[in-house]
Amino acid sequence: MSKGSARKSHFGHRFIDAIRCWGPISLALIISVMMPINTMAQSQPASAYDTLDIWLRAEQLNQRCQILNYFEAREIERGINFNKNLTPEGVAIQAAIGRPSFETELAKVGSMLDRRRNAARVAADKKVCSDLDTDIRAVRSNYVRSYLKGLIAAQQSQARLTGRSGRRKAGELLLGFAQSLYRDNYETVGQAVIQELQSEGFDADTAWGVLKNPLNDVLWQMRLSEKGYHFQSLQDQLGYYRAIKRDGTDSVFPARFSHRFNPKIVDNAGYVVEINQADGVTDDRRFVILVSKDAADWGPQILQAQLLVQEASARHAWLGNSWREFTLKFDAEVETGADCPTDFCFTFPVEATEAVRSRRAQKDGFFSFELVIAAPNKFPLEGKMNEYGREKYYPPPLPDH
């Protein structure tokens, strides 16, 4: 055997051992699906529209039936965005970036997506609510295999091995999710993935980095589940979510939220740490921020939040070091108990909502906002701070009613 073939053989055995030795996976926090994934058979090559329609029908079926995990719903959003860009309209708008025709092409993309989403909704309304639906299985065959490939490639990543334990736990849950779907085919698929990695080459840290979004989505779902909640998309408001109790009562945290993202906060030692966050508006029209850490005992145990609203319209005010000195400041109420779906719930007074609403209503106005979440010893905030020490904040949109 040559040295090259011996190295490849060692690689294969090492990674087969790796996919076996992640250890027993607790799937209590994951909605199980008991079928292997099969790619939809195509009698002829699918067009960009055909592929986009599959993702849209999966989206609409989940909107009606709520059969997917939160992290899967986010993958479908990404899949729609990616495949939209492969359509003729999507290609045209990319070519029009920076040109006078951009707005026209943007409108064409929006119109195309609306038409196809409406058709997908009609088709989904005729379907049975089942995770064995052909469209659900088709999209899963895309992102679940991607998860598996990334997780196998990242096994020896130093970023994974020495990084935050919460994300490693999320990786275990993702792997367990893939195992539950592939079942008896798991090792066969794993072998095929390993051969691809051997052929293509890869960097373990890069592979772990590519998984950042799904790992954080899983971590968000996992931490809400620990508090007895799940994050469920609103059937009639695409892109918005409710935090709903999992105790059988279906009681709802009284707010509408956008999807999770990853801002940074400052802990009491002055270190910048990344968190999971979702912004929303309560049913009584107050801004509310959900903050979730990697684990309940990880990171800062006490946090505060302040929203700063620029008082007077000024186009370049944000660039000035004294911007904070000319703002209205609103402190949030903080909740951390059982009635909060995450580690921290920050709810601002209705006066903050009105301050933002009135400034947005000034169509020719120029206003900036800042949200600061930090340990108590960071307040009051420094009055003078250059723009690089601040980060613009975009408060969530207010409902029409």
367, 359 contact by CB (below 8 A): yes
Is the confidence at residue 58, as pLDDT, over 90? yes
The SS3 call for residue 153 is helix
Position 44 scores a pLDDT of 52
Q: Is 66 exposed, middle or buried (0-12, 13-18, 19+ CB in 10 A)?
A: middle
Is the confidence at residue 32, as pLDDT, over 60? no
Position 5 scores a pLDDT of 38
- Higher pLDDT among residues 290 and 268, named by residue: 290
Tell me the C-alpha distance between 149 and 94, whole Å: 29
Among candidates 148, 150, 149, 391, which has minimal Cα distance to 274? 391
Q: Which string of b and e fits 251-265 if b means at least 16 CB within 10 Å?
A: eebebbbebbeeeeb
The full DSSP string for 55-66 is: HHHHHHHHHHH-
Q: Which of 13-17, 49-53, 397-401 has the highest mean pLDDT?
A: 49-53
150, 207 contact by CB (below 8 A): yes
Q: Which string of b and e fits 140-163 if b means at least 16 CB within 10 Å?
A: bbbbbbbbbbbbbbbbebeebeee
Residues with Cβ within 8 Å of residue 289, at least 6 apart in sequence: 277, 278, 279, 280, 305, 332, 344, 345, 346, 347, 371, 373
Q: Residue with structure tokens 């993958």?
A: 75
The full DSSP string for 343-376 is: SEEEE--HHHHHHHHHHHT-TT----EEEEEE-G
Tell me the C-alpha distance between 109 and 127, whole Å: 27
To which H or E segment does residue 103 belong?
helix 102-125
Interval 79-92: pLDDT, tens: 999 999 999 999 99
Query: What is the reported pTM?
Result: 0.85
**Total residue count of the chain as it appears in this document:** 401
Interval 113-166: pLDDT, tens: 999 999 999 999 999 999 999 999 999 999 999 999 999 999 999 999 998 889
Residues with Cβ within 8 Å of residue 356, at least 6 apart in sequence: 287, 309, 369, 395, 398
Is the confidence at residue 191, as pLDDT, over 90? yes
Residues with Cβ within 8 Å of residue 374, at least 6 apart in sequence: 265, 266, 267, 303, 304
The answer to which of 33-37, 191-195, 211-215 has the lowest mean pLDDT is 33-37
Position 68 scores a pLDDT of 95
Tell me the C-alpha distance between 286 and 277, whole Å: 17
Tell me the C-alpha distance between 312 and 367, whole Å: 7
The answer to whether the bond into 380 is cis (omega within 30° of 0) is yes
171, 222 contact by CB (below 8 A): no
Average pLDDT, the chain: 88
Structure-block tokens of residue 283: 């049913």
Rounded (to 5) percent helix, strand, coil in the chain:
45, 15, 35
153, 190 contact by CB (below 8 A): no
Q: Which of 42-51, 146-155, 291-300 has the highest mean pLDDT?
A: 146-155
Among candidates 125, 135, 110, 107, which has minimal Cα distance to 50? 135
Mean pLDDT of 312-336: 96
Tell me the C-alpha distance between 245 and 231, whole Å: 9
